[in-house]
Amino acid sequence: MNQPNFLTPEESLDVDAALLSSPEKFLARLTISSQRLLGIIAQDLDCPVESLSHKQIIQWFEKDAKTRQEKGPEAAVLKW
């Protein structure tokens, strides 16, 4: 699986250029990245982002962690 790009260089530059404090820039980057990740989760679960429940999100993270443990970090979506 290709590594998803959670924050493009252009998005990062836009956040850098914004008139925001450092904590606000961090939160903006986190929010943009989270939006992208929610899209990946929704696609994996074949449902709209708007209908994702917190339990589905938690289960997805558990599944990705299990994949990382069983198949190695390159097989998981999240790389850390």
pTM given for the model = 0.82
Mean pLDDT of the chain, nearest integer: 93
Query: What whole-number distance in Å separates Cα of residue 73 and Cα of residue 76?
Result: 5
Element housing 45 (H / E): helix 22-45
Query: What whole-number distance in Å separates Cα of residue 40 and Cα of residue 34?
Result: 10
Q: What are phi and psi of 44, to 5 degrees?
A: -60, -35
pLDDT in tens, 44-79: 999 999 999 999 999 999 999 999 999 998 999 998
